[in-house]
Homo-oligomer: A and B are copies of this chain.
Amino acid sequence: MSAYATCVERFIQSDIRNPLYDKPDMISFSAGRPDAAVFPLSDISTAFHVLFSKGELVQALQYGTTEGLGPLREKLAAVVMKEAGVVTDTENIMITTGSQQGINFSAQLFVNPGDTVICETPTYLGALNTFSVAGAQCIGIPVESDGMNIEALQQTLEKHRDAKFIYTIPDFQNPTGSYMSLKKRKQIAELAAVYGVPVIEDAPYSEIRFTEEKLPPIKSFDTSGMVIYLSTFSKTLCPGLRIGWICADTSILQKYVLLKGTSDSQSSTIDQFLAYYYLTNSDWKARVASVRQVYLKRRNTMIEAIKKYLPDTISYVVPEGGFFVWLKLPILMDDKELLNKTTAFWNVSFVPGSGFFPEKNKNNYIRLSYSNTPVDAIPEGIKRLGQALQ
């Protein structure tokens, strides 16, 4: 067998889809899946019927353009991005197969093996794995309850003038739930301009917000064209359509389009048409508002259960949005060994925290997702976790 490329040596089996989670009767706090009960089944069905009755199904089954369906990109600019707080145009948007593809394209476009990438620590492990496959050296900036430590970020930018980009999840960060302050958002946009370094702003959870205070994205303070904004319908609408998008200056976006052309030509045409007719005929803002209530209830249930069943020595921050509670355990322990035990003996699962750190040996954290666990099962699951931790 010929040798694989060197990137293959950097492949990591992700803990997000561990077969341990698949045991029957498991109460799962692992994958950050949305709750299927909130999927807009009848709206998507209506979208399909509209497509069929208008005679457009034939176009929906044909090739489309690499950048994506024009009318969908227009709706994303005019409705979804506007709601998110970004003023932009159709020509600044490219459709991706979920925001994971946007993360991956960012790594491919900017990173040569050995290059430095700046991210939060901890951060989304799917991004870390992707950066690792690209051969990036990830430098983690500690993430506080109000976002990245800006002093540490600036020092790192000073020291690593050749850093390829800053990857950040300002809204209800995965895994910490951190919500970046307005001040830090402005500071990051400014640092991007000063140091000439792109910011990859990953915003999958932005609309899953439990607080009244809505903070504008970093992209809204982007005067230098350095901020590349990634989002997706996976958490708000449904992930099965695999519709994500990139919003960036046209000169940068053009590179993403060329890369997408050689990568997979285009995302599913029919999925793009369904998303377009969903946005045309359904009330996006009302949907987002109702989805928030579902996840707020789960978060509240989980936090109550944590207070009741987990020892006081475990610390966490109550998330003001998103899907996750991030627990700091009082002592260093092998988090994967803990997972083996809780799944084997207690029928409760989580994602070990160590995979979310660019550094090694951070073993005293676990990530709990409340997004897809029936609300009635959450207290029982946390109770089991408490017993396992004793």
Contact = CB atoms under 8 A, between A and B. Distances in A.
Contacts of A28: none
A45 interface: yes
A240 B13 contact: no
Contacts of A175: none
A261 interface: yes
A219 to B, nearest CB: 16
A346 interface: no
A242 to B, nearest CB: 4
Given A1-B226, A41-B57, A269 B242 contact: yes
- Looking at chain A, what size class is its interface with the partner chain? 35 or more
A109 interface: yes
B165 A2 contact: yes
A143 interface: no
Contacts of A242: 264, 266-269
Given A126-B265, A264-B98, A62 B2 contact: no
7 contacts: A5-B112, A11-B262, A41-B52, A44-B57, A63-B234, A104-B263, A270-B274
Interface of A: 1-8, 11-14, 17, 31, 33-34, 36, 39, 41, 44-45, 48, 52, 57-66, 96-98, 100-101, 104, 108-112, 115, 126, 129-130, 133, 162-165, 196-198, 226, 234, 238-242, 255, 258-259, 261-271, 274
